[in-house]
Structure 1
């Protein structure tokens, strides 16, 4: 979960950014949204993003219900200047109070809003992110800031070597097992859908229980789960049971990395949803990218891509999943007629 961090100084603000994003940014412009001086959200863009990205980032921040913001550019002065000025102006035009505008490079920061050379030297102010209270608090809370975005993308990259070959063999065995399941389904079970759902629900429950207790699935268990997740009712059964706990994210990272390419979309989307609910937006983006590379038409990936692109806050899912009775269109249970008393 994203830690609750307070703004006390430019150095602490800068130190918080990697924990809000999940990685240390470079050649980037970051807008940090604040609510009652609490850092609640961060949106990142490349320094060479097209002009329309300024309004896009502003709209993303506005959806978080913030009352103020800070704009930080990471990179050389000639590349940072225009994005900082443009974003600051756009936020002010939307009546968001810009409390700080900074450039960060080589262990120093420069403020665009402070002209006092006693506290804001033209040579920049040195800072040590590792020594900040925010870095210590985030580390104690289990937050990790990876070296860069490439390191974050590698977290969801497919495994290789002997493990990949083992997974290919396990997936072949799972395909045979699935065929046997369908051919032995009862005559009344059209296309074996009920047998598939029962097997899928059992596999999902076992996977979740194993990871919740700190365990890990075998290659055969992962392979069986991934072939079952192709069946949409099984995927949706898993989707309805995803929460913001870290073990949900760890489970689906593990399944995604071991899944064969053609079976990637479902576990990638389940990881994206779990990461988004946990406040790990950058990881969610990386997972959606993997899903869309495997199948650009996969509807759940398209939906999550839009949710992430619009900056929809995960708090909207605080009541997810809805109970069966409260879902729109759900049937109301019938009342049995009472017997008349004799």
Structure 2
């Protein structure tokens, strides 16, 4: 995104994040040469009763600055979206940012905090003010060029982070792991090729309009096979990436335990490959809550926390393509518009 004004930048925030933030600090990496916005980070703005920054908020701000550095950022805008009094929090916030922006190496320059903008909410006509005293009105985010681009790409911008979290919230009584294993054995003789074919068929719409519990059990059993799960990750590189992500999200809502962890991990991997940090984080939280020891989720969370670039994640998905071929399943064509797809 190339920015032309502060108002345009603020109006683009929901599309950049995938939801409308509140009680948040949003950091936007800015390339001074191209004038473009790159990596973004959002942190809950946690306040004490006295209105100061909570310790966990200070820590998360530091982690966010570190991750932006890893992504190559050398200057950032800070956007504070909060309707509470911030008389004590604002100077504390700026102090924390400046502290972590200072480089610990002579070889690396300090991270420049270009400006801090405050506004109560991201909505048309809301007044923003920056730390230098300038102010203005926010244009309508619904007509932001970045929002329009997101809609054209088929991405949904949610009204809140809670609405995004609901995509993976547990639904109904749920299908447990034992039932999934029984379904995979009974319906497919635990054959990895047949199980992967069932997932591809479900993602491409070769099924009834709604998944029955029996369907969910079979697909959950498929994801318990590590070969099948790894091959299914490669669907994120194909023309049915969006359909596959929606399928895995539905499975995550309706499965329990380790099968839910597997489905949520695939949602996280798909989000990661597309550079969707909020979805990646929410899906990883869901996966680890379902099965704290689930290895794939733990590895992905480590990579995410270390700031591994999405292009490096694509190598793992590429292995899934080879795995699918070994299982005798031809995946749908690659998405030619997906830059990480090779």
TM class by smaller structure: 0.7 to 0.9
Comparing 303-312 and 81-90, the one that deviates more = 81-90
Q: Which runs of 5+ in 1 are unaligned?
A: 186-194, 328-342
Comparing 8-17 and 316-325, the one that deviates more = 316-325
Instruction: Tell me, yes or no, if the aligned pair for 1:31 and 1:70 is still in contact at 8 Å.
Output: yes
* 1:129 matched to 2:140: yes
Return the TM-score normalized by structure 2: 0.75
How far apart are the structure 2 equivalents of 1:170 and 1:77? Answer: 48
| Alignment-derived partner of residue 42 in structure 1 | 40
* Shift in CA distance, 181/77, structure 1 to aligned 2, threshold 3 Å: closer
* Displacement of 1:171: 8.2
Instruction: Tell me, yes or no, if the aligned pair for 2:41 and 2:64 is still in contact at 8 Å.
Output: yes
Q: Which runs of 5+ in 2 are unaligned?
A: 47-55, 104-108, 324-342
How far apart are the structure 2 equivalents of 1:129 and 1:307? Answer: 36
| Alignment-derived partner of residue 53 in structure 1 | 60
Matches within 5 A, 1:163-178: 164=173, 168=175, 172=179, 175-178=181-184
Query: What is the aligned counterpart of 1:307 among 278, 284, 303?
Result: 303
How far apart are the structure 1 equivalents of 2:244 and 2:297? Answer: 18
| Alignment-derived partner of residue 118 in structure 2 | 103
Query: What is the aligned counterpart of 1:81 among 88, 91, 105?
Result: 91
* Displacement of 1:239: 2.4
How far apart are the structure 2 equivalents of 1:175 and 1:324? Answer: 22
Query: What is the aligned counterpart of 2:196 among 192, 201, 206?
Result: 201
* Shift in CA distance, 44/97, structure 1 to aligned 2, threshold 3 Å: same
Instruction: Tell me, yes or no, if the aligned pair for 2:168 and 2:249 is still in contact at 8 Å.
Output: yes
Return the TM-score normalized by structure 1: 0.75
Q: Aligned residue pairs: how many?
A: 297
| Alignment-derived partner of residue 250 in structure 1 | 246
How far apart are the structure 2 equivalents of 1:326 and 1:275? Answer: 21
* Displacement of 1:144: 2.9
* 1:27 matched to 2:23: yes
SS at match of 2:21: coil
Rg larger in structure: 1
How far apart are the structure 1 equivalents of 2:321 and 2:37? Answer: 37
* 1:283 matched to 2:279: yes
Comparing 27-36 and 132-141, the one that deviates more = 132-141
| Alignment-derived partner of residue 328 in structure 2 | none
| Alignment-derived partner of residue 149 in structure 1 | 161
How far apart are the structure 2 equivalents of 1:202 and 1:143? Answer: 27
| Alignment-derived partner of residue 50 in structure 2 | none
Instruction: Tell me, yes or no, if the aligned pair for 1:72 and 1:84 is still in contact at 8 Å.
Output: no
SS at match of 1:292: helix
Instruction: Tell me, yes or no, if the aligned pair for 1:33 and 1:70 is still in contact at 8 Å.
Output: yes
Comparing 318-327 and 282-291, the one that deviates more = 318-327
* Shift in CA distance, 316/129, structure 1 to aligned 2, threshold 3 Å: farther
* Displacement of 1:261: 4.2
Query: What is the aligned counterpart of 2:70 among 58, 63, 87?
Result: 63
* 1:237 matched to 2:231: yes
SS at match of 1:317: helix
Instruction: Tell me, yes or no, if the aligned pair for 1:68 and 1:96 is still in contact at 8 Å.
Output: yes
